[in-house]
Structure 1
């Protein structure tokens, strides 16, 4: 069959497929319309129309009933409220352990709460032979700082301090006191106290680790121990004795100097008198010679 014959007969040629002017979507739409027409032709009877109307009314009634149920649930009667209260009194519930939302955030009931905030301070340029106890004493002696825990970065084998450390506080005031101790002397070295803005994790490649120490709680301000007080008293007494000896030596030196000055003055006066006498005698001799002439 040639192309011309195919066009006349309205059939596609064997080489090409037939193309529709509407496409696949247009064909589907035509098929749907034809099906609807067939249905409408068959459902035009009076009985089928009545059944459709009844179905629609039944659906409307169900919707109205559901709305009424929801409204009744919101407005409970007194009889239902009494039943609920008696049931709650007879079967009391245990306190819930679920975290409760507050203004500060979700606060858990257990001791390991995420809301127990801690303040951290960073220590730099620490002495290499320092210990956590010495750091605690340093801050407690100066400003009565209560430290909750101390962490030092030490060598893994020798456990010698590497010059870094961290302080943790539960109270913000103690944290602020510790920051005032920046650039203070600890074992003849100026330490640096700064804010800790991020967490520190020791590297696995380098031989270093963190040692934690929890200092004991202190009651009241710092008091100097009796041993230190006695040693200080002995030092003061020795210092006083040395000062008295120095005063006596200075007084003796002053007396000797005064004596030497007086002697020099006396000798100088005698010499001056002799010179004056000689000059007077010379003048008198000259005057007599003038008179004789």
Structure 2
């Protein structure tokens, strides 16, 4: 097992990509701290991890709040004894599923509140968690940080400009943090997922079916399938497990010489 007896924190670990990363890391021997705002879902993921024979801890965390991120590290160290891996996976899609009226994806219709929520969750949250764990990893002179961005941060998606901005920020910020922490033997990398069916996909599918004629009379799953068909050269969606497998690799000793990189897992949707 590549991560035997290591301890990983995964923010946004209660569902979707985050859950996939939690389970993949546990499968490879890691004990897992599940950080999320949804404690019911977190408990279900923890139960799966415990059944694998690993330790699991749930910590309610709003990554937009500095005190929550600091408490996450503090409580994890108190309960687990040490930390080896941080994966920042909390995210907000940039809009809600109760959209009515004007197209909320157009720049003139994006509210300042929506902008702030998107940036605070997707970019500030990564910053706060990275900042909170950096002193510990620097003192330990070892650590792996994996920040989850998106291919929308590689090439701006016209239906989510604020989301694209937040994810591009994660990529560039991670490179800068990687440069700062490299002298302390801390690796920092970014994963850019492509098209994965998650709760956020349900939200975006509902919105796109309402707003775009080409998706009229389609349910969210049909919208997702059509987007994959037209955007992904390999012709299939990615999975949370695909992201989890890469996260396991980046967290393992096999990736000790990799830092400051952003890696796409997108079926060829973006070549970069």
TM range (shorter): under 0.3
TM-score when normalising by structure 1: 0.17
Higher relative contact order (CA closer than 8 Å, sequence separation 6+): 2
TM-score when normalising by structure 2: 0.18
- Return the index of the structure with the highest Cα Rg: 1
